[in-house]
Structure 1
């Protein structure tokens, strides 16, 4: 059943190509008029459908995305401004402070002088 549809569809395509070629050689102006008519009718249908649909989901999503992008951009610019001022404060504080020893940390002496036995790996 699948093969029969394949052959019928292929036959229709071949007949359409022959018909188009015959019409192109006998009356090329009618083909141009037909294509222009199809384009105009398609454009009119598209225009009517887009106007009658009102607010589509795509428009709402686009607006929501643009609004979120603006918020994100403002937030990012605010963070940049805060970060640059914090960096300058940190640099000035770091240069003013001296490094303190952490009294709660202890150094554990190990066997640093002994070389590792690489054969045991």
Structure 2
């Protein structure tokens, strides 16, 4: 069934291309006129759509979100530029010989407590 549907779709596309080519060779001026009319109608619809969507009032929450997004982008750009400078500095520094530090053992002390003394259950 899927194979039949795919052949059918390919056949419709092939007939469409054949029709366009025959129209282009038989009446090129009419073909380009139709293409121009379609483009003009699509442009008008697009302009109407953008005019209607831009005219909507923006809520205060959306304005605050956009402002915060712009500020975070600025911060991100400044951080990346600082990191690039630090990275180039660290790359230059890493070319020098690096001293290896030994880890020192941590000196921990054990505090003796009253481990063996039984707890008074009545106080709980």
TM-score range, shorter chain: 0.3 to 0.5
TM-score for the superposition, normalised by structure 2: 0.47
Q: Choose between structure 1 and 2: higher helix proportion.
A: 1
TM-score for the superposition, normalised by structure 1: 0.48
